[in-house]
Copies of this chain bind each other. A is one copy, B any other.
Amino acid sequence: MQANTLTAQSQVHINLAERSYAIHISRGILGDPASYQGLPQASCALIVSNTTVAPLYAAQLQAALKPHFPKILLVTLPDGEVYKNWQTLQLIFDVLLENACDRKTVLFALGGGVVGDMTGFAAASYMRGVPFVQVPTTLLAQVDSSVGGKTAINHPLGKNMIGAFYQPLRVLCDLDVLKTLPPRELSAGLAEIIKYGPIADMEFFAWIETNLDALLAGDAAALAHAIRRSCEIKAWVVGQDERESGLRAILNFGHTFGHAIESGLGYGEWLHGEGVGCGMVMAAHLSERLGLIDMALVERITRLSERAGLPVRGPVLDPVDNAGRYLELMQVDKKAEAGEIRFVLIDKPGSAVMRAVPEAMVRSVIDACCA
């Protein structure tokens, strides 16, 4: 399938019984009042954004919400993963309570993954739950936070350790906003898109290989297809396992190594998508060592990630015992159960599996994959 045969407009329906919602993927929808029709009646809307995104898009969103809500508040959070903590979350609650916002208030997450995660958790917790709408402004947030209902903040001892499963009312992926996205962030988003190939759909992987230049150039039709297909795959997985008891864990392909990198370097040093991109390459190597896939696939994944502008070699987190440091960081990861480290691996091309891996093999892969 070629990008030029695609349409730049589509919708993915997320089926979760009474918590079902639609993801709208199109150009110019952020600033279109029609995008916000049919939301619950409320006297108040609160836009949560950050210092980078608010100057670019908050006024547009405010104008589009004006026909629907009598009062529209804005809270602008500091930008960055380091601020994804309780102190920043409090800023949202402060604004809500200072303005006596009731439990019908609708929250709008205008920003990337951090804004989405914090707004979602604030919505899940404020008065034990108010509705919220996602308006993701990064490619990563459009493909990743759009589906799954995961919301969270970080704790000093671990990433995303405090949060809730909470579904948005609607997700609006405006393709135009990706034009203002720095190239490094576009690459980070592509990591989560590429991820779906080896774990779920090798045909999609081949399509990305063919259309990567169009995606990197910001071609709307190509982006729309990549976002829609990623959301569809994620929705299919999440639909079968909303609360991550089993299958859903495969979405964490690349994340175990990725989280160790992010946390070991200090959050914010590498983008989340960069950690995932590199972690995916490491997890592919682990799959190859176990004899699940051949080196040709490892190389295809590595080459595509490199072309997408992603780091493919892990950073050295400890010059004395680098593998030991990685292992230590992976112990506190949520996927560590009963002290055992389990990895999401490629079972065969287009299919994933959870496996406990011998520590010696993990060490050897870390040694081989770090710069």
Q: How far is the CB of A120 from chain B (nearest CB, A)?
A: 11
In the assembled complex, A337 has its CB within 8 A of some CB on chain B? yes
Instruction: Establish whether residues A124 and B164, one from each chain, have CB atoms under 8 Å apart when the complex forms.
Output: yes
Give complex CA distance A127, B98 in Å.
Answer: 29
Instruction: Establish whether residues B128 and A98, one from each chain, have CB atoms under 8 Å apart when the complex forms.
Output: no
A interface, by DSSP: helix, strand, loop or mixed? mixed
**Which stretch, A155-163, A203-211, A261-269, A359-367, touches the partner chain B?**
A155-163
Name the CB-closest residue of B to A245: B103
A151: chain B residues at CB < 8 Å are 128
**Residues in A140-176 with C-beta less than 8 Å from chain B:** 150-152, 155, 157-158, 160-165
Instruction: Establish whether residues B337 and A162, one from each chain, have CB atoms under 8 Å apart when the complex forms.
Output: no
Out of B43, B86, B90, B163, which one reaches A338, CB within 8 Å? B43
Instruction: Establish whether residues B157 and A97, one from each chain, have CB atoms under 8 Å apart when the complex forms.
Output: yes
A150: chain B residues at CB < 8 Å are 128
**Which stretch, A5-13, A189-197, A328-336, touches the partner chain B?**
A328-336
Name the CB-closest residue of B to A157: B97
In the assembled complex, A104 has its CB within 8 A of some CB on chain B? yes
In the assembled complex, A57 has its CB within 8 A of some CB on chain B? no
**Contacts A90-B86, A155-B97, A332-B100 hold; do A161 and B338 have CB atoms under 8 A apart?**
no
Give complex CA distance A162, B338 in Å.
Answer: 31
**Residues in A283-338 with C-beta less than 8 Å from chain B:** 331-332, 334, 336-338
In the assembled complex, A243 has its CB within 8 A of some CB on chain B? yes
Instruction: Establish whether residues B128 and A165, one from each chain, have CB atoms under 8 Å apart when the complex forms.
Output: yes
Instruction: Establish whether residues A93 and B128, one from each chain, have CB atoms under 8 Å apart when the complex forms.
Output: no
**Which A residues contact B (CB, under 8 angstroms)?**
43, 86, 90, 93-94, 97-98, 100, 102-104, 124-129, 150-152, 155, 157-158, 160-165, 243-244, 331-332, 334, 336-339
Which 7 interchain pairs have the tightest Cβ spacing? A97-B157, A128-B163, A102-B337, A125-B162, A43-B338, A127-B334, A128-B165
